[in-house]
Amino acid sequence: MPHGIFQILSGPKGRVTIPALGAHIGTMQQWELRRRGGDDDPKSGSYDLRAVFSYINPHLFHDADYEKDVIVEFGRGRQHLQLRVHMVDAEETVLRDRTLLVRGVQISEYRDEAQVGRTAASL
């Protein structure tokens, strides 16, 4: 888990889904997570997310009735990692055309069912 290690992390793959509807509402073609402040800064541990989408459904993205899953990916093979971006307490969320800026997000490691299955099988 790279939390607290990196200042900037970026990649080409990411997605936004609404799990309750089984709906894929966004495909990223580029994203960047930038850590905020220094280690002593109270904002340390939160990040700014910038993303450019090849596809985004702005109507569902802004629909407060549905919880979204924002997942970004980086690395390959054993280094492949997925991060969940938590936007719930974000200070600011701006989606303009296909460009997204979210200030003050939290991140955590994300494992889909296939990864969880592989991990369990290897134990």
Partner 1 sequence: MSTATKPKLVELPPPSDEPAVVRARIRGRVYTFTELEIGEYDKLVVKATKREADPETGLEEDVIDNVLLMRLMIDKVVEPKPPQEVVHVGTRMYRAFSRIINDLHYGDEAVEILSDDDEGDDAPKETPAGNA
DSSP state, residue 76: -
Q: What whole-number distance in Å separates Cα of residue 42 and Cα of residue 28?
A: 29
Which of 3, 8, 12, 19 is close enough to bind partner 1 by CB under 8 A? 19
Q: What whole-number distance in Å separates Cα of residue 24 and Cα of residue 80?
A: 21
Ranges within 59-118 binding partner 1 (CB under 8 A): 59-60, 63, 65
Binding span for partner 1 by CB under 8 A among 4-12, 21-29, 77-85, 104-112:
21-29
Q: Summarize as ranges the residues that interact with partner 1 (CB under 8 A).
A: 19-23, 55, 57, 59-60, 63, 65
